[in-house]
A and B are shown apart, each in its own frame.
Chain A
Amino acid sequence: MIQPGLIAEILVSLLIVVGAGFALVGSWGLVRLPTLMERLHGPTKATTLGLGGILLGSVLFFQLIEGVWTAHELLVSIFLFITAPIAANMIAKVHLHETRLNRNDGIETPAGSPPAAPGPGAWATFEAPHRDTPAATSEK
């Protein structure tokens, strides 16, 4: 007969090992992939998932084995899953901005530059307001 404690141990160990493996794969992607736009994929997806696994393992460890309920890990994971896409978006904006200013000399993605944005403007990074742009959305 298998004891429940053993099942909990196996579950926690599996979550920790898988989570740490995903974190390692994400960081290896940071080294291995050729340009910044590809490198963004590793940390934002794999590493965040790996951290989620470790946090879930920690919740289960303290709940099932120690008998202590902790909510910090859940807060951390919710916060990270919300903020990781925003951080990735900001970094992609920095890349587009630097490419437009030709500060990324000779560093071009294999897919080439992104297509031009529809309309008169460029992709939203930084530009001076157009002539007809209202100062606030409440105007006009």
Chain B
Amino acid sequence: MIDYAVMFGFACLALAFAFNLWRLLRGPTIGDRIVALDTMVINAIALIVLNGIATNSTVTFEAALLLAMVGFIGTVAYCKFQLRGDIIE
């Protein structure tokens, strides 16, 4: 039963990635692209965790943890760059 649930999850996340990609390419403002990238990172974390369930291994969960941190820092850095024209003042 869990296999089917994981398959359903993979399908949902793939569709979510397609939506995010559409918004990333379409824009129209910089803020929209930042939101799309942020959502893509969150979906990527979900994909890594689902892959861990599917393959029965906890090895990749460190990658999920790192991606959560790096994704947040990337979003804030991009916003900061838009607001101030500089990241570290």
Measured CB to CB, the residues of A under 8 A from B are 9-10, 12-14, 16-17, 19-21, 23-24, 26-28, 30-31, 36, 39-40, 42-43, 47-48, 50-51, 54-55, 57-58, 61-62, 65-66, 68, 70, 72-73, 75-76, 79-80, 83, 86-87, 90-91, 93-95, 97-98, 103-104, 107, 125-126
A20 touches B46 (CB 8 A): yes
Out of B30, B64, B68, B69, which one reaches A94, CB within 8 Å? B30
A30, closest chain B residue (CB): B23
A75 touches B65 (CB 8 A): yes
Shortest Cβ-Cβ A-B pairs, 5 listed: A27-B16, A20-B9, A13-B5, A90-B79, A72-B61
What is the CA–CA distance of A37 and B33 in the complex, to the nearest angstrom? Answer: 13
What is the CA–CA distance of A31 and B16 in the complex, to the nearest angstrom? Answer: 10
Measured CB to CB, the residues of B under 8 A from A are 1-2, 4-6, 8-9, 12-13, 15-17, 19-20, 22-23, 28-32, 34-36, 38-39, 42-43, 45-46, 49-50, 52-53, 56, 58, 61-62, 64-65, 68-69, 72, 75-76, 79-80, 82-84
Which A residues are in CB contact (< 8 Å) with B84?
126
Most buried by A among B20, B46, B52, B62: B46
- For the residues of B in contact with A, the DSSP-based class is helix
